[in-house]
Amino acid sequence: MNIKIDVIENDHSVEAKVSGEIDVYTAPKVRETLFPISEREGITLRVDLTDVSYMDSTGLGVFVGIFKNIRAHNGTFQLRGLSDRLKRLFEITGLADIIDINCQNEVE
């Protein structure tokens, strides 16, 4: 039930690094931290999930909400550093087709 979220802001760009597990208990903290950022006009939000060991459907729902909100405000959203397990989760739900995703071996 541990989660850590580090946020670095630069003008119209925000980098967030999430560590731990994203589940029904921790997803509200992710939403509470990142959703207000998604409401900024033209924001670019990149979320690094390299250190996320587990995510359930609650976490997926949070990221879908953030993604939709960013698009509604003319911004861009990217998930980075997904493990094969997390990438598969986004693929089987069809979210990999609409959300910009880079896997662990693709992170710069």
**Residue pLDDT, tens place only, 23-37:** 999 999 999 999 999
pLDDT band at 5 (very low <50, low <70, confident <90, very high): very high
**Whole-structure pTM value:** 0.91
- Domains of the chain by residue range: 3-106
Residue 79 has which token pair? 């998930």
Per residue in 46-90, pLDDT tens? 999 999 999 999 999 999 999 999 999 999 999 999 999 999 999
User: CATH topology for 3-106?
Assistant: Transcription Regulator spoIIAA (3.30.750)
Please classify residue 104 by burial: count the beta carbons closer than 10 Å to its beta carbon, then call 0-12 exposed, 13-18 middle and 19+ buried: middle
Residue 18 has which token pair? 């999430």
